[in-house]
Amino acid sequence: MKIFRVEGTLVATARIGGLESHRLLVVQDRKGGKQVAVDPVGCKPGDWVIACGSSAARDAAGSKEYPSDLTIVGIIDYWDEESEERAAPSANGEARSADDRARSAGDGARR
């Protein structure tokens, strides 16, 4: 699952029957990339959402036969984005706290 921000509604009146009346939304990831997602939960522009892709997206939309590659599965009420930014990945890919990074910087200054 990934986190996206809802940008707005995508209007596509000519579409295959399998899409039925599900809303399509333009969502943007935190790096600025945009995608189209099926919205079975009722999101509005500006909402932060959780979405799943691949075969899980088809299941979440209601059927394995559903033609979706990205489906919104929840609206985020709250998450501490600041703590996520403080825990930057280290060289080996593991998250490090701000205190760990400060200690490392101090160690480098003493060498």
Span 52-63, average pLDDT: 68
Reported as a single tens digit per residue, the pLDDT across 9-29 is 988 887 777 666 778 899 999
CATH homologous superfamily of 2-79: EutN/Ccml (2.40.50.220)
- Residue-wise pLDDT for 29-42, tens only, equals 989 999 999 888 89
Does pLDDT of 57 surpass 60? yes
**Burial track 32-55 (b if 16+ CB lie within 10 A, e otherwise):** eeebebbbbeebeeebbbebbbee
Domain residue extents for the chain? 2-79, 80-111
Asked if residue 93 has pLDDT above 70, the reply is no
Say if residue 95's pLDDT is above 80: no
Instruction: Supply the pLDDT for residue 43.
Output: 92
